[in-house]
Amino acid sequence: MAAAMNRLTFRATMAQVSVPASSANLGPGFDSLCLALDIRDRYAAQILDEAIFDVDITGEGADEIKRDAKNLVIKSMMHGFEFMGSKPRGLALRALNAIPQGRGLGSSASAIVGGLALARALVLSGEQYMSDEDLVALGTELEGHPDNIAAAFYGGATIAWMEESHGQNFGRGVSLTVDPRIKAILFLPETHLATTKARKLLPELVPHRDAAANVARSALMVHALTDRPDLLFAATQDFLHQEYRGEAMPKSLALIRKLRAAGVAATVSGAGPAVLVLHIGNELEAAEIMKSAPDSFAALSVNISPIGVQ
């Protein structure tokens, strides 16, 4: 994606955004279906005249996140500025992180979308230089896949895909309105898993019958999320990636098997190792599901976020 040649006017005031967590795949929708969850990272940034990056981070992963030009929010901001036409000399960034890191909940997508949204907000008439579609495409360029980026930006449930134009591939996404009866539960393990490691466990080829079954369940998942939540259990069945990744998260797969044996719509959240449950039960039924968590998992009831970055 080529950068524009524009003379930008930077805002002198601070810009603030918040970005939701996201749970990708939802079972069969590998790299395409995603759901925004109401756990939000918050970022604030300001243009500096000095050629420095002043970064302060609190909350989840604060001790492990870079505080220089390699910080993912900073990198995303600079990528956005470059696309719009020119870069500032320096930036001040403040981050309050709530999304668990390395658990399959879109923490990197939050940082990327947050950085691009901050860059756009810090430019006068920034929407003229970076459209919503541009932002999703730029985010996909940085993330490598569009699913979490689309959910973090649009909110709700999203369908994401790659589209070719003029010899380049761009990430695209659309948002769906989720049936208000659907609620989410997260089971968060103590362990982390890098997305790159999880992807390396996937085979180059899968049986045709599994691919066909996954297409059917993915289509069903869209219907279940929007109109027929009673079909969530069938719709969350995956044939494409979860079992192949089992050796990297055996406790997560064991929990999923236990929950699904009880008729609960449980899946790996993104690349894992967090486990996502979607249900339409009341608080008592949710509490019973949450009791299924082994000692090595923390259970958390979380709302689906109809709003993406804001």
Tell whether 7 is covered by a domain: no
Q: Quick one: pLDDT at residue 100?
A: 95
CATH code for the domain of 129: 3.30.230.10
CATH code for the domain of 244: 3.30.70.890
Q: Quick one: pLDDT at residue 192?
A: 79
CA distance 163 to 300: 36
Give the residue from 57, 157, 68 showing the smallest Cα distance to 107: 57
Q: Which amino acid, residue 52? A: I
CA distance 270 to 103: 8
Q: Quick one: pLDDT at residue 4?
A: 59
Residues whose CB is less than 8 angstroms from the CB of residue 200 and which lie 6 or more positions away in sequence, other chains included: none
* Same domain as 171, residue 154: yes
Listed residues 147, 176, 205: the one ending a domain: 176
Give the residue from 72, 210, 203, 213 showing the smallest Cα distance to 144: 72
Residues 42 and 18 sit within 8 Å (Cβ to Cβ) = yes
CA distance 34 to 281: 21
Listed residues 159, 176, 193: the one ending a domain: 176
**Domain interval for residue 40:** 15-176
The pTM (predicted TM-score) of the whole model is 0.94
Handedness of CA 279, 24, 188, 41 (dihedral sign): negative
Q: Where are the alpha helices (DSSP H) in 144-245?
A: 147-154, 195-200, 208-226, 232-235
Cα angle, residue 92 at apex, residues 89 and 96 outer, rounded to 5° = 150
My answer on whether omega of the bond before 273 falls inside 30° of 0, hence cis, is yes
Q: Quick one: pLDDT at residue 194?
A: 76
Q: Quick one: pLDDT at residue 271?
A: 87
Q: Quick one: pLDDT at residue 262?
A: 96
The parts of the chain modelled with pLDDT lower than 70 are: 1-5
* Residues 75-106: tens digit of each pLDDT: 999 999 999 999 999 999 999 999 999 999 99
Tell whether 308 is covered by a domain: no
Q: Quick one: pLDDT at residue 198?
A: 73
Number of domains in the chain: 2
